[in-house]
Amino acid sequence: MKNKFLTLFILLLSTMLAYGQKLKPNSTIKAENTTFNTLGSKYGKMDVVNKNNIYYNKIPKVSGMNFSFEFAGKLSLLDAFTQVFSDDRIRQLLPETGIFITFYINPEGKILEVSFMVGENTLITAAELEKLENIIKAKISFKVHSYNANGADFFPVNYNVKYKKILDRTLLK
């Protein structure tokens, strides 16, 4: 009887800790080493941004249609997600359909920062976004195709990641 009670207590405690970092609109949430600001919108979505991100809502010095971007490694984004989320966890997230990511990259294709857009009732935690952000910044880069990047400081590149495509391993295919 004591073992069942102890097991139930540990399960409830771990659930509370995992959801203690639940993302809420218009708030500040601390993960292990990162603080995120969440900004809600009127469309049921919220932006989740590392509080140290200096590129969010900043306008690049050079913009226009003379640029195109592609991931340097076709599987790099899928690998980042599978390092953070198990298949079971992705199945839990399937009702949310996906996560919208803005990559802020320099003219050489290095990711400087990222921001996320998720549903206001997302099941994703700040700890998961912290891990995902760290892996993305460390392991993913872009090929930048430009006709004239003189004076460019950074480029925002948007990508909508569908959870179904992570689960069936067709992301970026």
Kind and range of the H or E run holding 119: strand 111-119
Report the predicted TM-score, pTM, of the whole model to 2 decimal places: 0.84
Q: What is the pLDDT of residues 117-165, one digit of tens each?
A: 999 999 999 999 999 999 999 999 999 887 666 678 898 999 999 999 9
Long-range contacts of 22-28 (CB under 8 A, 24+ apart): 22/125, 23/48, 23/118, 23/122, 23/124, 23/125, 23/126, 23/129, 25/120
Q: What is the pLDDT of residues 68-99, one digit of tens each?
A: 888 888 789 999 999 999 999 999 999 998 99
Cβ atoms of 64 and 146 within 8 Å: the answer is no
Is a pLDDT exceeding 80 seen at residue 7?
Answer: no
Q: How many other CB atoms sit within 10 Å of the CB of residue 30?
A: 13
* pLDDT score for 151: 73
Instruction: Report the C-alpha gap between 48 and 120 in whole angstroms.
Output: 10
Q: What is the pLDDT of residues 34-65, one digit of tens each?
A: 999 999 877 899 999 999 999 999 988 876 65
Cβ atoms of 23 and 50 within 8 Å: the answer is no
Kind and range of the H or E run holding 5: helix 2-19
User: Any residues with CB less than 8 A from the CB of 141 and at least 6 apart, and which?
Assistant: 71, 72, 73, 76, 105, 109, 110, 111
Reference 142, options 65, 60, 77, 70; nearest CA is: 70
